[in-house]
Structure 1
Amino acid sequence: MSAPARQVTSLTNPLVKAVRALHQRKARDETGQFVAEGLKFIIEALEFDRFPEVLLYGPEAAGHPLLERARKATLAAGGQVIEVTRDILAKVSRRDNPQAVIGVFRQVFARLEDLDPAAATGWVALHRVRDPGNLGTVIRTADAAGCGAVILVGECCDPYSVEAVRATMGSIFALPLVRVDEADFAAWRAGWPGSVVGTLLSATVSHAEAAYRRPTLILLGNEQQGLPPDMAALCDVNVKIPMRGRADSLNLSVAAGVMIYAVTN
Structure 2
Amino acid sequence: MTRRRITGFSNPSVKAIRALREKKHRRREGRFLAEGLRLLTDARENGRLPETLVLSDARDPHPLLAALEAAVTEAGGEVLETTPDILSKITGKANPQAVAGVFTEFDTSLERVDRSRAPIWLVAQALRDPGNLGTMLRTGDAVGAGGLILIDDCADPFGVETVRASMGAIFTQQLAQASWPEFLEWLRAGAGEQGGQLVAASLRDARPYRGAPYAAPCFVMVGNESQGLPDAYEAACDLRVTMPMKGRADSLNAAVAAAVLAYEVLATLDA
Q: Does 1:229 align with 2:231?
A: yes
Give 1:132-211 correspondences, 5 Å limit.
132-191=130-189, 192-211=194-213
SS in 1 for 2:58: helix
Q: Is the 8 A contact 1:122 1:215 kept in 2?
A: yes
Distance 1:27 1:211 in 2: 45
Instruction: State the superposition RMSD in angstroms.
Output: 1.4
Q: Does 1:87 align with 2:100?
A: no
- 1:125 aligns to what? 123
Tell me by how many angstroms 1:71 deviates: 1.1
List per-residue Cα deviations over 1:179-230 (Å, max 9, x = no partner): 1011111211213433211112445311113211211111111101101012
Deviates more, 1:114-123 or 1:45-54: 114-123
Distance 1:34 1:195 in 2: 33
- 1:215 aligns to what? 217
Distance 1:101 1:189 in 2: 40
Give 1:22-61 correspondences, 5 Å limit.
22-61=20-59
Distance 1:252 1:45 in 2: 26
Q: Is the 8 A contact 2:188 2:196 kept in 1?
A: no
- 1:109 aligns to what? 107
Q: Is the 8 A contact 1:198 1:237 kept in 2?
A: yes
- 2:259 aligns to what? 257
- 1:238 aligns to what? 240
Query: Would you say how many aligned residue pairs link Structure 1 and Structure 2?
Result: 263
Distance 1:264 1:193 in 2: 18
Letter in 1 for 2:253: N
Distance 1:63 1:39 in 2: 12
- Selected match of 1:10 from 5, 8, 11: 8
Deviates more, 1:8-17 or 1:186-195: 186-195
Distance 1:159 1:23, change over 3 A: same
Distance 2:246 2:78 in 1: 54
Q: Percent identity?
A: 44
- 1:72 aligns to what? 70
List per-residue Cα deviations over 1:239-261 (Å, max 9, x = no partner): 11110111111111110100111
Distance 2:123 2:236 in 1: 12
Give unpaired runs (5+ residues) of structure 1: none
Distance 1:216 1:89 in 2: 42
Q: Is the 8 A contact 2:187 2:196 kept in 1?
A: no
Q: Which runs of 4+ in 1 moved over 3 A?
A: 201-204
Tell me by how many angstroms 1:120 deviates: 1.1
Distance 2:116 2:176 in 1: 17
